[in-house]
A and B are shown apart, each in its own frame.
Chain A
Amino acid sequence: MGGLRRLGARLLRVLRPGLGEDDLSREIAAHLALLEDEHRRRGLPPDEARRAARLALGGVERTKELHRAARSIPWLEDTRRDVQHAVRRLTVDRGLATTVVLTIGIAIGAATAVFSVVDAVLLRPLPYREPNRLVVVWEGDDPSRRPQAAPVNYRLLADHNQAFTSLAALAELGATLDAGGGPEKIVGRRVTAGFFDLLGVTPAAGRGFTAADDVPGAPRVVIISHELWRGRFGGDPAILGRNLRLDGERVQVVGIMPARFQFLGAKVELWVPIAMTQEQWTRGSNYLTIVGRLKPDVSVDLARSTIEDLRRRLEPTLPHAADGFRLTPVLLHEDLARDARRPLVLMLGGIAAVLLIGCANVAGLLLARAGVREPEMALRASLGATHGRLLRQLVTESLVLCGLGLAVGLAIARLTLAVLAQLVPPTMVRFAAPAIDGRALAVAAAVSLGCGLLFGVAPALHLAARGLGRGLAGSARVVGSAGARRGALVIAEVALTLVLLVVAGLLVQTVYQLRYANVGYEPSRVLSLRMVLRMEEYRTHAQRTAFYDAVLERVGRLPGVTAAAFTTGVPLAWKGATTGVDIEGRTPPPGVEWDANFRLVSGGYHQALGTPLRRGRYLADTDRVGTPSVVVVNEAMAHQFWPGLDPVGRRMRISDNAYSDWMTVVGVVGDVRQMGLDLPVASELYVPYRQYPGQPWFAPRDLVIRAADPLALVAAVTREIHAVDAGLAVSDARLLDDLLDEEVAARRLGTAVLVGFAAFAALLVVVGIHGIVSYYVVQHTPEIGVRVALGAGSRDIVRLVAGRGLWLAGVGVVLGGVGAVAAARFVRSLLYGVGDDDPATFAVAAAVLVAVSLAASYVPARRAARLDPVTALRR
């Protein structure tokens, strides 16, 4: 009990060391007086008595020291004193302290924010049961584009499964939900009954699907997301058991998923049983996503090879060997994070470089100050401070700096996190929310502590190496050796900054190429809206054509509209369908099937999109049933099937369906990036929908409108559509520009972050070079004085001093060039439209750095040139 009480008392004394000091002096004085009285009583003369009294006490100062040690906690009190001293020093060196704190703060802030994104996306486990055993199985050999699997292959895998404890399949579902507030398009998934069990996630309310739900003809049920439940139904628990209208059918809500549940889709709000018939399970078209849970002792590689064995066994027995049984399992986390991994690693590398540059800069500044402080340290050493004590003082100072930097950094991290959070892939956003949590705090604290120790120890070692005693005789000239170290630090800064500038430069060009240089059409002022015709009501081609014609007629009359057309899908929003093609007069090599992307469009589509015409003519509204069948192809198709020839007037046909009229090519249009901005353009044909009966499920559904002010038209266009069909859900109204922005958003953000890093690094280089050149001037003031006295002009002096900065920058640029080549090679897979060895980028980056260095050294160089030789020589 007493021990605890005493600890409290001692801690109090650490904070208020002066408390009780007066009392103690008085007490000791009284003690001495009493002793003195006693000695005098024994007959000693007054002087002797006083001496004897002090002897008996054992020294006044020593007694006080003993008292202090007992009443307080000496090392803690020393630390407190060090901190106080450090803060006092920093308020004196306010400029330096601000620079250091901001440098460290920005670097730590950015590092913390980047780390928390990396943590959320790459490091933290996925929110499923034993997530590292979950795999997705894609069709074919290349899972990078996530090709979906055919039902027949899912059945085969499930029937012969050896590697998985369970398997489930999902199909996409774009449904129109009517919960009373008008039709609304909603993204859902059709899933096999075991899907939620496989993930190990149960609905937060209600039940999951049972095998009885997953049968054709079973009563229709739906499980909704927490987000839909809150957003659309106000979080009303009575929703369970209620019926909704989904695509016009009544379905009963049986479950609500937990908040933030998400699996492989961006905005999936509901799930229904897939309930496919036996016949549907034997189909070969690819629309299923397969997910599996690996058996405990099975690795994903082993699963891959068992599937390969299975393929070899099964293939001879399969009816259509053309598609074949080819499936590739990928770990779920790997699949989700695939597109984000490299950019995030790049960003980590970038921030590491910034941290290093920041550290080099701060170390340089503190080394310079260590030089300036040599006399102070020497004085303290001669007054009895030990080396350890001085080292502690220096480390404390830098820890105080880093502590302040940490505080600034956490504020910055908090501010930038919302922006960086956009780097989380859309398929992970609901659960992988980056946060400044304990882990991020630990990283930030560890980094700042590391910096603090480093910065404190470096100048201390510098002082120790120089020998404290000699410092007292110090003048500016004595502190020379710090200069060489700072030179090395600045060279390192320049080199790392060049690497950052080159990488950032390459990425900026990539974004520009993707977004502007290469899309193949004129995306500005083009609006697109989506509407999906209900199959039951638009069963015949005539019904559909009547709808499209009526809408186009009405929309075309709206003011400001220059072109309007329907298409099965605008570029990027819908990646497109492919179809087999026959080319008249040519046969494909054996074993090859010719195919091409395939779009049904109305006349005017290319005008609305702004696709350039290369040969022949565009499609027209006059291309309808009864006129000769025509088709327009893109340049890639012209090159693939009619190399060196003019395709206009030649014929081809679609070989997949019943439709097999020969179609005459009437025009060639420019290539359009449909599938992805960084994917090569495939052969593509545009068929007039009026001439192509097709299938109800492959009918045009996107309306594109080119107009002077397209966004102002949304309401009017929707009104016109509803005038034709009041029950049709109109969704996804947006500008093609926005669609493109969205497509490059993550890249653009990642690039912007790296550009920010590079700019910050360049700023640090300015500070670093300015500092070292100023220091050079101080150090060489007498020499400069001599030169001026001997007749050197101010231009000579500027050249001399700025040359020093330029020399450091030059060495840095050369070293950095080597690093930049390696870094550019590392980011090659992220580049598009620019080579990783692009000489212009390297040249510009180097030029920027040299210019920046020149500017930074010019100011101190001017100052040197204006030195008065008389004063300079006297120093």
Chain B
Amino acid sequence: MKTSGEGPARGEAPSPDLLPGTLDLIVLRTLTVLGPQHAYGIAARIEQVAEGALRLNQGTLYPALVRLEQKGWIKGAWKTTENNREAKYYAVTKAGSRALAEEAAWWQRSASLVNRLLTHEGE
């Protein structure tokens, strides 16, 4: 087990991998905070919030967007940006907000459980 903060080393990618399923949740959360946003905007926001701790190929956002859209949690629509370019803006649906609340709660519970188990001192 490495003790440095790099996480498990896998190939050349130095950045931490996301746990499976978490990207969808992060996208959903980002859209909830920002309001309707296009894929580039979402990617920029995630990189900004992660403060460089997470570097992602922006293309990998697309599968997450497809999954969320197919589940009916977000909805895409073509609009123009402030720079007068056209882009597809995604917005969270009602089902999406509900799902986010449930999933986020579940994540927090699990995370705190894992945290407790990892930090428990023992008698």
Instruction: Give residues in A with beta carbon < 8 Å to B.
Output: 1-3, 5-6, 9-10, 23-24, 26-28, 30-31, 33-35, 37-38, 56-59, 62-63, 66-67, 69-71
**Given A27-B88, A66-B63, A67-B66, do A35 and B71 touch, yes or no (CB 8 Å)?**
no
Q: Is the CB of A71 within 8 A of B70?
A: yes
Kindly count the residue-residue contacts between A and B in the assembled complex, taking CB atoms under 8 Å apart: 75
Instruction: Please list 21 pairs of residues, one from A and one from B, whose beta carbons are closer than 8 Å in the complex, sorted by A's number.
Output: A2-B71, A2-B73, A2-B95, A24-B62, A26-B86, A27-B39, A27-B88, A30-B87, A30-B88, A31-B58, A34-B38, A34-B40, A34-B87, A57-B57, A58-B58, A62-B59, A66-B59, A66-B63, A67-B63, A67-B66, A69-B63
The CA-CA distance from A10 to B88 in the complex, in Å, is 21
A9 near B70 with CB under 8 A, answer yes
Contact of B62 among A10, A33, A66 (CB under 8 A): A66
Known A2-B95, A30-B38: A56·B58 in contact at CB below 8 Å: yes
By the criterion CB–CB under 8 Å, are B71 and A3 in contact?
A: yes
Interface size on B, residues (CB 8 A): 26
| Interface hits, B56-72 → A, CB 8 Å | 57-60, 62-64, 66-67, 70-72
Q: How far is the CA of A10 from the CA of B66 in the complex (A)?
A: 10
Task: Tell me the minimal C-beta distance from B79 to chain A in angstroms.
Answer: 10
**Chain A residues positioned under 8 Å from B87 (CB to CB):** 27, 30-31, 34
Q: A66 — which chain B residues lie within 8 A by C-beta?
A: 59-60, 62-63
Q: Nearest residue in A to B44 (C-beta to C-beta)?
A: A38
- Whether A31 and B63, one on each chain, are in contact in the complex, defined by CB atoms closer than 8 angstroms, is no
A794 to B65, CA, bound (A): 73
B57 and A33 contacting across the interface, CB-CB below 8 Å:
no
Measured between beta carbons, the chain B residues less than 8 angstroms from A38 are 40, 44
B contact face: mostly helix, strand, loop, or mixed: helix
A58–B88 CB distance below 8 A: no
B66 touches A71 (CB 8 A): yes
Give the contacts of B74-102 with A (CB-CB under 8 A).
Answer: 81, 83, 85-88, 95, 99
Contacts of B67 in A (CB 8 A): 6, 70
CB A526 to nearest CB in B, in angstroms, measures 81
- In the complex, A341→B18 CA distance in Å? 68
A57 touches B59 (CB 8 A): yes
Bound Cα distance A2, B83 (Å): 35
Question: Are the C-beta atoms of A58 and B57 separated by less than 8 Å?
Answer: yes
| Binary contact readout B30-65 vs A (1 if CB under 8 angstroms, 0 otherwise) | 000000001111001000000000000111101110
The answer to whether B99 and A2 have CB atoms under 8 Å apart is yes
Contacts of B44 in A (CB 8 A): 38
Contact B57–A5 (Cβ < 8 Å):
no
Set of chain A residues within 8 Å of B71, measured between Cβ atoms: 2-3, 5-6
* Distance in angstroms between the alpha carbons of A3 and B68 in the assembled complex: 10
Residue contact A70 to B63, C-beta cutoff 8 Å? yes
Is B85 a contact of A5 with CB atoms below 8 Å?
no
Query: Contacts A30-B87, A71-B66 hold; do A58 and B59 have CB atoms under 8 A apart?
Result: yes
Q: How far is the CA of A2 from the CA of B39 in the complex (A)?
A: 21
On chain A, the residues within 8 Å of B70 by CB distance are 5-6, 9-10, 71
Give the 6 A-B CB pairs with smallest separation, nearest first.
A58-B57, A2-B71, A63-B59, A70-B63, A58-B59, A9-B70
Query: With a CB–CB cut-off of 8 A, which chain B residues contact A23?
Result: 88
- Chain A residues positioned under 8 Å from B86 (CB to CB): 26, 30
CA distance A30 to B57 in the complex (A): 16
Which residues of chain B are within 8 angstroms of A5 by Cβ–Cβ distance?
70-72
Shortest B70–chain A CB gap in Å is 4
A6-B70, A27-B39, A57-B57 given; 16 more Cβ-contact pairs under 8 Å? A2-B73, A2-B95, A5-B72, A6-B67, A30-B85, A30-B87, A31-B87, A34-B81, A38-B44, A56-B57, A56-B58, A58-B60, A59-B59, A62-B59, A66-B62, A66-B63
